[in-house]
Amino acid sequence: MNTLEDLRRIFDEDASAAPDPVGVVAAAEQGATQIRRRRRAAVATGVAVLVAAVAVAVPVAVQRHRADGPMPATVGVEREQHQVTLGVDGPSGYAVTNQDSYENLQRILFRNATESRRLIASAIAYDPSAGFDPTLLRRGERTTVSGHEAWYVSDYPLNGYTFGQRTPMVIPALGWQDPTGTWVLVYELPNVVHPGDPEESERARIQQDAQAVRIEAMHEMTAPISLGPLPAGIPPMSTASSDRRTKATVMLGGKPAPLDAVWVVGPTQGTAVMIEAEPDGPNTQIPDKAARVAPVAGYPAWFTKATSGTALGNGSLWVRARGCTITFSAWDRDLASAKQLREIAAATKYADCDNPATWGPIVRG
């Protein structure tokens, strides 16, 4: 038999083992900032819907607005990793082929559908929180892009493109600051810059590319997978979606990608889970060693245990759904369990891989 005195003594002992208060308030303040940010984003979404409704109701007014310059994005609203504002003007003849989003920057690859010779241009948008330093840019030649003061630099050092060299690739680039405070940098991918082209034509091309770029009202990145509620502590850190190759990638957890690592969404230090969705094809063969497991959300599924010594901590769950093969990989065995992979996969909505019209937000939250 126990006594109430025993119970009280246990309470006193356990209470003395309570966690240290150091850092709790700072973490709570950070959490409060995120809550406020999410609320502002929700308000911004409402504003975006309202703007869309007005645009439908008053096309003449909208047309006049567009003639003056790009549709302005909401000022002062912070973006989540699965939300995007960077895009191209539809009527310009350009189309976005790939879109990446990180903590405080976004990147798009876009091309002019009417011009076959030039394949790909690229734009990076640095959120105001990124702390982009425009000093180098402002040393360039002044010009104008869609009504914004802009600068053209023929030898801009683009960090992240080192191609194995110690120094960054130096390329022509054009940049400006949007009224939202976002800095936009436009350039052509290094591997499609045409050697021998006179600089004048290079500059004219980039200027033309830049005219098509827009900072739009914030909206969700769409993909053939739509992730549901995610385990606590491993939020989406970067997302990527591609219309052209129908590939979507999401990294959960980990440190934000460094500002100069703008190439493809990939794991960073501390990434817990990597999710990739690709159309069924030669690249998405289920490995022979994969074991068939219970279906996920009604779709066939397989599991491969991680091989000792590989980076894939707890293995990968493979799901074949609606023309896509989706892999949920536990990148770090201490941060994500095989069970969590299954929970994430079960909470995911799967759209028709080949029909972007059916796609939903890449993260539903």
Interface characters, 35-74, with other proteins (x: CB under 8 A): xx--------------------------------------
Contact with other proteins (CB under 8 A) among 25, 57, 67, 357: 25
Q: Which residue, 320 or 342, is less far from other proteins as judged by CB?
A: 342
Q: Which residue, 108 or 338, is less far from other proteins as judged by CB?
A: 338
Q: Does 294 bind other proteins (CB under 8 A)?
A: no
Q: Does 231 bind other proteins (CB under 8 A)?
A: yes
Contact with other proteins (CB under 8 A) among 15, 57, 60, 357: 15
Tell me if residue 206 falls in helix, strand or coil.
helix
Residue 260 sits at φ, ψ, to 5 deg, of -95, 10
Q: How far apart are CA 298 and CA 295, in angstroms?
A: 5
- Residues binding other proteins: number (CB under 8 A): 36
Q: Which region among 11-19, 120-128, 251-259, 350-358 touches other proteins (by CB under 8 A)? A: 11-19
Q: Which region among 32-40, 45-53, 94-102, 351-359 touches other proteins (by CB under 8 A)? A: 32-40
Which residues neighbour 40 within 8 Å (Cβ) at sequence distance 6 or greater?
A: 76, 77, 78
Handedness of CA 8, 11, 13, 15 (dihedral sign): negative
Contact with other proteins (CB under 8 A) among 42, 83, 343, 345: 343
Q: Does 3 bind other proteins (CB under 8 A)?
A: yes
Q: Does 32 bind other proteins (CB under 8 A)?
A: yes
Start-to-end C-alpha separation, the chain = 49
Q: Which region among 15-23, 49-57, 201-209, 267-275 touches other proteins (by CB under 8 A)? A: 15-23
Q: Which region among 2-10, 62-70, 86-94, 158-166 touches other proteins (by CB under 8 A)? A: 2-10
Interacting positions 298-337 with other proteins (CB under 8 A): 337
Query: What are the tokens at 344?
Result: 């994430």
What is the DSSP-derived secondary structure letter of residue 151?
E
Q: Does 114 bind other proteins (CB under 8 A)?
A: no
CA angle (259 as vertex; 151, 135 as ends), nearest 5: 30
Which amino acid makes up residue 173?
A
CB distance 316 to 303 below 8 Å: yes
Q: How far apart are CA 131 and CA 354, in angstroms?
A: 38
Contact with other proteins (CB under 8 A) among 56, 57, 232, 357: 232
**Nearest-approach distance from CB 290 to other proteins, in angstroms:** 25
Candidates 129, 127, 75, 131; CA nearest to 101 is 127
Q: Does 11 bind other proteins (CB under 8 A)?
A: yes
Q: Which residue, 231 or 267, is less far from other proteins as judged by CB?
A: 231
Q: Does 34 bind other proteins (CB under 8 A)?
A: yes
Q: Which region among 8-16, 135-143, 169-177, 274-282 touches other proteins (by CB under 8 A)? A: 8-16
Q: How far apart are CA 127 and CA 254, in angstroms?
A: 20
CA angle (69 as vertex; 67, 70 as ends), nearest 5: 115
Q: How far apart are CA 112 and CA 354, in angstroms?
A: 22
Q: Does 31 bind other proteins (CB under 8 A)?
A: yes
Q: Which residues pair with 177 in a beta bridge?
A: 183
Q: How far is CA 273 from the centre of its chain?
A: 15
Q: How far apart are CA 123 and CA 110, in angstroms?
A: 8
Candidates 119, 74, 130; CA nearest to 262 is 130
What is the DSSP-derived secondary structure letter of residue 292?
E
Q: Which residue, 121 or 363, is less far from other proteins as judged by CB?
A: 363
Q: Which residue, 28 or 192, is less far from other proteins as judged by CB?
A: 28
Which residues sit at the interface with other proteins, rule CB under 8 A?
1-12, 14-19, 21, 24-25, 27-32, 34-36, 229, 231-232, 337, 340, 343
